[in-house]
Amino acid sequence: ETGVTQSPTHLIKTRGQQVTLRCSSQSGHNTVSWYQQALGQGPQFIFQYYREEENGRGNFPPRFSGLQFPNYSSELNVNALELDDSALYLCASSSDRAPPLHFGNGTRLTVT
């Protein structure tokens, strides 16, 4: 059984740029969600994808968007990057939109 994998592991971007992060869900899981974890804090829910559609969203602006593909992999896109977007971005997968969630090791994004 393969776990959740994310790429890249680290990324440095400049304010105002755009970034795409990628996630492959755990084998057998059809639901993917994304979380933002600032340093020293717990993860915060960004959104969830199920059957290739956004199926729930946290308190994040529209410049955070995503996609889910037929193989259940997913992308997180962030436009017009701000310094506060610097964080660890975590992808999690589960079955049929229900806990428990299994997380990847994240992408560390630094915005300068």
Partner 1 sequence: QKEVEQDPGPLSVPEGAIVSLNCTYSNSAFQYFMWYRQYSRKGPELLMYTYSSGNKEDGRFTAQVDKSSKYISLFIRDSQPSDSATYLCAMSRNNAGNMLTFGGGTRLMVKP
Residues with Cβ within 8 Å of 27's Cβ and at least 6 positions away in sequence, in order, are: 1, 2
- Tell me which DSSP letter residue 41 carries: S
- 23 near partner 1, rule: CB under 8 A: no
Which residue number, 16 or 61, has a Cβ lying nearer to partner 1?
61
Least distance (Å) between residue 16 CB and partner 1: 27
- 48 near partner 1, rule: CB under 8 A: yes
The closest alpha carbon to 29, from 101, 104, 107, belongs to 101
**Which residue in 25, 72, 76, 106 binds partner 1 (CB under 8 A)?**
106
Q: Which of residues 74-103 bind partner 1 (CB under 8 A)?
A: 90, 92, 94, 97-103
Q: 11 φ, ψ to 5°?
A: -155, 135
Whole-number Å distance between alpha carbons of 14 and 31: 31
**Which residue in 66, 85, 104, 109 binds partner 1 (CB under 8 A)?**
104
- 55 near partner 1, rule: CB under 8 A: yes
Sign of the alpha-carbon dihedral angle for 24, 67, 101, 21:
positive
Interface with partner 1 (CB under 8 A): 4, 6, 31-33, 35, 40-45, 48, 50, 55-56, 58, 90, 92, 94, 97-106, 108
